[in-house]
Amino acid sequence: MKIKKETNTLKNLYDRKKNIFTLISFIMSIIIIYGHSYVLYFGANTLKIDIFSYLLKYPIGEIVVDIFLIYSGFNIISSLLRSDSYIKFFLKRILKIIPELLISLLVAAFIITPIVLKIPFLTYLKTPSYYFKYIFDNIILIKPTIYSISNVFNNLPYPNVLNGSIWTIKHIFACYLIIAFLKKIKFLDKRKNILILTIIFLITNIFINTGILNSYLNIISTKLSFIGILGEFTWFIRLLYFFLTGVCLNLYQDKIKVNIYIIISILLMLTLARFSNLTSYSLLLFLPYLSIILGSIKLNLKQIDISYTIYVFGFLIQQFIMFLFPKINFFLFNILAIFITILISYINYLLIDKSIIKLRKKLNL
């Protein structure tokens, strides 16, 4: 990446209309399908891991989700500060995440489940006990994630899970609520406040990685498991931290130095961490900076944002392929899953997303 001398801060480098956040998110969503393929094909107890997780000595799926949260925080804070209404802000966010989630739930509940269970559709439809809890609990983003309907896929290598990706969406929405609340109480009026909060969450995550806080956090998760994000409290703290790093990097664009020496130094430290079993700590420190700098590269390319749809549908499609073709070749399994997911996501973009984009413009969102 060639950076001119005058381009020495993130503010000079980043262009809201010319960046590759969307392209990177697309690539990451494909990588996460590949990452999931090992447990979905070989089973949860497999010792086989994907090439990215092997090279990094850290699960690539977790890194991808972290990057999604970093980009989300970076973009959301701009949207929030530009918004003249909290109602408009949340309506825009709901129109962004709910339609694809709802469609994936409906496809799982009303197309895939009746096929797998071999139940006549009308009979199935007249029995809400099959599908109501799965759809309702997952769409309201408050309750714990429901992963299956009546033991669907119970004979697969990764059994009784329709869609293992949707658990993160309630955490993302919780991040939206928190950042909006922080603006409401004027916590964001001074950017140093968000920096201090981010550092607090960094330290907390370091303690979590060492295992010091785990017993206390497990108590919270057990006692408050009926609230979705609190039942996964350790994960919530991690995801909120990465979301806050994105917010922080956006607010401090004028202070974030960008040069090739910093980037090389970070890559060297990540490499050393990989061989010192310190990858989890190095990612907490360096992944946000690298993700935003890489995403800020200017590229004159028309980018269609279907990464979220790919993420929401990928796992479900992979499981259905395993159900239909239990003896499929592993390589073909990946190719087929990626192709079908991209195709469905693009069709969704043409039929659903474009209409939502027009609606958002009409509503001035």
pLDDT score of 253: 95
Q: Is the pTM of this model over 0.85?
A: yes
With cut-offs at 50, 70 and 90, classify the pLDDT of residue 47. confident
pLDDT score of 110: 95
- Reported in sequence order, the residue ranges of the chain that DSSP labels E, i.e. its strands, are none
Minimal CA–CA distance to 68: which of 171, 205, 142? Answer: 171
Amino acid at site 159: P
pLDDT tens figures, 7-41:
589 999 998 888 999 999 999 999 999 999 999 99
Distance CA 312, CA 289 (A): 26
Distances (CA, A) of 245 to 74, 76, 83: 8, 12, 21
Task: Report whether 287 contacts 270 (CB < 8 A).
Answer: no
Distance CA 278, CA 275 (A): 8
Q: What is the mean pLDDT of residues 247-270?
A: 94
Distance CA 97, CA 84 (A): 21
Question: Does 357 or 221 have the greater pLDDT score?
Answer: 357
What is the b/e burial string over 280-318, where b = at least 16 CB atoms within 10 angstroms of the residue's CB? bbbbbbbbbbbbbbebbbeeeeeeebbbbbbbbbbbbbb
With cut-offs at 50, 70 and 90, classify the pLDDT of residue 215. confident
pLDDT of 5 higher than 70:
no
Q: What is the mean pLDDT of residues 220-230?
A: 77
pLDDT of 134 higher than 60:
yes
Instruction: Write the DSSP assignment of 20-44 as a string of letters.
Output: -HHHHHHHHHHHHHHHHHHHHHH-T
Q: Is 302 left (phi over 0), alpha (psi -120 to 50) or beta?
A: beta
pLDDT of 208 higher than 80:
yes
pLDDT of 71 higher than 90:
yes
Q: What is the mean pLDDT of residues 105-115?
A: 96
pLDDT score of 286: 96
pLDDT score of 7: 52
pLDDT score of 351: 94
With cut-offs at 50, 70 and 90, classify the pLDDT of residue 300. confident
